[in-house]
Amino acid sequence: MGGMIDITRELSEGHPVWPGDSDYALDQVSSIADGAAVNVLRLTTTTHLGTHVDAPWHYADDGGRLAAVGLELLVGEALVLDARGQDPQVPASVLPDGPLPPRVLLHTGQPERWQAFPRFRALSPALIEALGRRGVRLIGTDAPSVDPVDSKDLPAHQACFRNGLIIVEGLELSRVTPGRYRLLCLPLRMPHADASPARAVLEPV
């Protein structure tokens, strides 16, 4: 059995964010070289930076904020699927026959690093509905969103809300072999937030 596989996107200056969202920046506000006792950086960013967990309130006014996303949903057995293809949205046909674990992660073809905001495959509402019927509670994607960048009604997000699926976006799955793992995906403890960056890892089982 191998060790942990980090599936978190690495963050550095200029990391692309959703068009119109707050850029990621680290600015030094205290410097030992300038006579201060410590080095301190100020972080400015969006709650939807890189690998992040969406709270239902992000896309539904009557949905829970981050405190409503139980840790038990974010830790446990997960299935990684190769969902690469040419269709603009990932179809329900990518799902295998047989029982699914509570967490399904989709490698849609995103590279290890984003040099600019990427082109990406969204998830079809039919896929989300199929996952909900089969007892899945968390859907993860390597894309920056489950919906297209120009979507206004967010059908995949809304399908997740109807079916009780928590969304994890921006995973880094380019080097992960499809199969079953144990997922650990822990957002910051910001109970009133609409989302939070997270550190996500897989453990082989």
One-letter amino acid at 142 equals D
* Nearest CA among 204, 143, 177 for reference residue 9: 143
Q: Which of 58, 107, 157, 192 is catalytic?
A: 58
Number of H helices, E strands in the chain: 3, 12
Taking phi over 0 as left and psi of -120 to 50 as alpha, with beta for the rest, 140 belongs to beta
> Whole-angstrom Cα distance, residue 105 to residue 46?
23
Torsion of CA 78, 81, 87, 93, to 10 degrees: -80
Q: Is 58 a catalytic residue?
A: yes
Just list the catalytic residues: 58
